[in-house]
Amino acid sequence: MRYIRIPRTDLRPSVVCLGGVIQREPSPLVGCYDEFVERGGNCFDTANVYGKADCGFNANERLLGRWLGQKPPSFRDGVILCTKGGHPEPGQPFDRPRLSRAEIESDLEESLRGLGVDTIDLYWLHRDDPERPVEEILTYLNEFAAQGKIRFFGASNWKTARLRQAEEYARARGIQGFVANQPQWSYARANQQALDKVRLVAMDKDAFRFHQETGKAVLPFSPNARGYFQKLAAGLPLTQLAAERYENPGNRTRAETLKAVAAERGCTVQQAALAFLLHQPFPVVPILGFSSIPQLIEGMGAVDVALDSATLGRMRGGTSTLF
Ligand SMILES: NC(=O)c1ccc[n+]([C@@H]2O[C@H](COP(=O)([O-])OP(=O)(O)OC[C@H]3O[C@@H](n4cnc5c(N)ncnc54)[C@H](OP(=O)(O)O)[C@@H]3O)[C@@H](O)[C@H]2O)c1
């Protein structure tokens, strides 16, 4: 495993993070936590909302919390816990943001109880509320940090203009700003219209430039494009979600490039696609989703796939950034 420091923090996550995929018990995937750690993984992503629609409570945080609770106390120091708050209420429209101080505090307290810890290492805002000034948001996040409830914080599904505003405000006031960004990003280009429906934001040219300028870390979600390339390579039908979000002519071309790169490198198409994310000019820690432990193990193998600059150029299809 390789590790990378998130700039402006003392966090050194493994270059792949374990996604919050398990929401029910008993689950055949519970063993993934130990499998991930045994292979050197130390960074876990979850969210207060994961499991709420199905179970009515923060099922994924509680599952992770119970697993952590079985470990010796010193184990906590070696892992990086990331969770998110501020997601719209399950069943409510996505245009009703929940980013008031009271809503975030309530989510945060529930996350701390669910995970059974005193502090969250990296706390994400799950969505943005563009009507709410960044000043207000950064002020309460800094207060939660001062209280020790969170160590660092990041933004997920924020547009770049808002990330820039937050960055400028934090710098001007000398306070802590977002240390990382969690957009959707994979070797496939997402159909942004499909993401817009649920207020998800994908990496794009402007965001890429922002990260080049600031060196800020990216922890991309859905880095496997929901299995888009794997399904095409295996001749399997795409799931409805993968088709809606990722089916487009550009991605069909990328699928062919990926197959060629995977054959040359002796790896799988999934590993080649993840390796592409791991070869960027700023820190990138993909958050792996999976529906079986072998899928997780395969994804972790991407860490060992080296891509030279000629191959990367070919993968970018003649552009400097893929965008
Ligand atoms: N911040 C946010 O708004 C946000 C949004 C979404 C997700 N997330 C986070 O990001 C994590 C990952 O996201 P995700 O699950 O949407 O995306 P993902 O990793 O792109 O997709 C996971 C799916 O990819 C397929 N897959 C993965 N590894 C594979 C392999 N080796 N071979 C074949 N297929 C493979 C599987 O599809 P099949 O099940 O069809 O086999 C799996 O369910 C989540 O767990 C969560 O922690 C955050």
Atom of ligand 1 lying closest to residue 156 CA? 1
With the most atoms of ligand 1 within 8 angstroms of its CB, the residue from 224, 240, 297 to mutate is 224
pLDDT tens-place string over residues 37-50: 999 999 999 999 99
Report the percent of the chain where pLDDT is more than 90: 92
pLDDT tens-place string over residues 96-141: 999 999 999 999 999 999 999 999 999 999 999 999 999 999 999 9
pLDDT tens-place string over residues 234-269: 999 999 999 999 999 999 999 999 999 999 999 999
Place of tokens 């430039």: 209
Spatial contact of 100 and 88, defined as CB atoms under 8 Å apart: no
Q: Which two tokens stand for residue 147?
A: 């209280």
Report which protein residue has its CA nearest ligand 1's atom 32: 295
CA distance 219 to 184: 9
Please tell me what DSSP assigns to residue 77.
G
* Residues within 6 Å of ligand 1 by CB: 19-21, 45, 126, 156-157, 182, 200, 221-227, 230, 239, 270, 287-291, 295, 298-299
CA of 248 to the centre of ligand 1 (A): 19
pTM of the model: 0.97
For residue 300, which of 197, 244, 210, 224 has the smallest C-alpha distance? 224
What residue spans define the domains of the chain?
17-312
pLDDT tens-place string over residues 275-312: 999 999 999 999 999 999 999 999 999 999 999 999 99
CA of 221 to the centre of ligand 1 (A): 8
CA distance 35 to 158: 32
Strand pairing report for 287-288 and 17-18: parallel
pLDDT tops 90 at residue 24: no
Report the percent of the chain where pLDDT is more than 70: 98
What pLDDT sits at residue 38? 98
Residues 6+ apart with CB under 8 A from 96: 88, 89
Report which protein residue has its CA nearest ligand 1's atom 41: 291
CA distance 39 to 37: 5
pLDDT tens-place string over residues 159-198: 999 999 999 999 999 999 999 999 999 999 999 999 999 9
How much is the mean pLDDT over the chain?
96
CA distance 112 to 250: 42
Atom of ligand 1 lying closest to residue 220 CA? 10
CA of 90 to the centre of ligand 1 (A): 20
With the most atoms of ligand 1 within 8 angstroms of its CB, the residue from 21, 287, 293, 297 to mutate is 287
Kindly list the distances between the CA atom of residue 66 and the CA atoms of 28, 42, 115, in Å, as whole numbers in the listed order: 16, 16, 7
CA distance 137 to 99: 8
22: pLDDT confidence band, cut at 50, 70 and 90?
A: confident
For residue 281, which of 201, 217, 198 has the smallest C-alpha distance? 217
What pLDDT sits at residue 148? 98
pLDDT tops 80 at residue 1: yes
Q: Report whether CATH 3.20.10.10 matches the domain 17-312.
A: no
Which residues are 163's β-sheet partners?
none
